Structures are given as structure tokens and as C-alpha cells.
Amino acid sequence: MKRLTILISTLLCLPFQIANGQVGQAFELNITNPLTFIQAMDNLNASASGQANNPQVLLRASLANGEMDSTHNIAVVYDSFSSMDVNRTRNATSQDWANFLSIVNDISTPVAEYVFSSTGIDSGNASVVTSANPYILFIQLQVNDPTAYAVASRKLMSSGNNGNIYAHLYQIRGGGPNGPSHVVTQTANSLDDLLGASPNPGFDEFLEEVSGIRTVLGTGVYQQIMAWE
């Protein structure tokens, strides 16, 4: 069985969304005991190793995620890949980290993991998300013309017609040959804001522009339940 030791490369801390950070890793996990997982994270964050580390860790619970077996999504957010390198080196010799793994390996199974980086394309209205427990819609995409898709996405997201939803486009690495190359996150304070809002008036034009250059692989709806910094 694949175990959570793969997290040794990053995890020490998906505020909101995959956060406003520039780079990081996102993990889809099947967690059988969420309360124990949260307690283990609290203990790690309070430890000497946790205090020395600099990422932000966001834990989201799944509301609906299609065929994926995961119950939770975790985003580990850094300001740069160099910060991720420093954290990898520190965790490799950390007893606090080893103690954390000994607990969570027994209560969680990784389903998928990705490295992400911001494209710098977003809707520019992050301030509309004020809840500590926002809802996030993840849209996984396979894009065969990243430049054209970026142009179309920037035009749509910068239109100012996003209502109470904050949108952000990320590039994905390590998704595999059939996995996503990009992810769009849409974040809002409530399910009504996220799923009940009227579409952006430019959405139909956007769909025409990207119809031949991207495939939607899947979507998932999550609620953020914890954040560590």
C-alpha cells in the first residue's frame, strides 16, 4: 500500500483555495480518522521542527469529488521552490516529522499528489473571500495549448464579472500522462455563492475559444476545515 511517507518532501503548516501562494504540493488523501490527523498536525505545528518550517498547510474535506476515493485534500503552500528544498532537507532528519508520519501512516492513504505553481492569472478579487472555512471548486484540466488557454483565461477572469467567487489558474507538474496539466480553483464564502451564482457573461465566448485546446478531466467540491501556518 502506498503510504504517506511521500509527504516527507514537503509537509512541515488547497485562508483559502490553494492559497495565494506561488508553489506547493496538493495531496488527495483517504483519511479514516480526521480528528487524529488534525491532532497530529497540531502537534507537529507546535513542535520545534514545525516552528522552524515556513509553508502553509490547508486541509479541506470533500463534499463531492466524482470517482476519486479521497476524503480530504491537503495543499502545502510555499513562496518558492527554494523554500520547498529547505523544508525537504530539514524534515529528512527531523524526529518531530518521524513522529508525525508514524501516526498518520496508519490513518491515511494517498490517492493522488501533484506539484503546482501559479500562472499569475486570477480574477483579482481575493478579498471577497472572508470566511475561515470557504468552499472550493477544483476543475482539473488537460490543456494542449497552454499559451492560448492562458490568454483566454486571463480575459475571462479579469472581466470583473466574477461576483463573490475568486478564481485562480495553476499549472500542474507530475500529473502523469493522463492527469491534469492545469487546475482552476474557484473559492467562495458559501455554497450558494460558489454554485448558485450566475455564470460570468463572458463564459460562453470563453468556451468557444478553448473548446479545441482543453479537456475537463474532473471536478471536486471541498470545504476548508483547518489551516496551519
What confidence tens digit (pLDDT) does each residue in 132-167 have? 999 999 999 999 999 999 999 999 999 888 889 999
97 occurs within a structural domain: yes
Confidence of residue 21 (pLDDT cuts 50, 70, 90): low
Tell me the pLDDT band of 190, cut-offs 50, 70 and 90: very high
Q: Which residue, chain included where needed, has cell 482539473?
A: 140
Q: Quick one: 134 and 81 in the same domain?
A: no
Share of the chain above pLDDT 70, in %: 91
CA separation for the pair 151, 153 (Å, rounded): 6
How many structural domains is the chain composed of?
A: 2
pLDDT band of residue 229 (cuts 50, 70, 90) is confident
pLDDT of 18 > 50? The answer is no
Shared domain for 9 and 107, answered yes or no, is yes
Same domain, 37 and 111: yes
C-alpha cell at 70: 479521497
Asked if 138 and 207 sit in the same domain, the reply is yes
Looking at the fold, whether 9 and 102 belong to one and the same domain comes out as yes
DSSP category for residue 6: G
Q: Please check whether residues 61 and 105 belong to one and the same domain.
A: yes
Angle between helices 203-210 and 146-157 (to 10 degrees): 180
CA distances from 30 to 68, 110, 196 (A): 10, 6, 28
Residue 198 domain-assigned (yes or no): yes
Q: Is residue 111 part of a domain?
A: yes
Residue 57: CB atoms within 10 Å: 24
Domain that holds residue 105: 4-115
Same domain, yes or no: 107 and 17: yes
**Whether residue 100 sits in one domain with residue 157:** no
- CATH number of the domain enclosing 174: 3.30.70.100
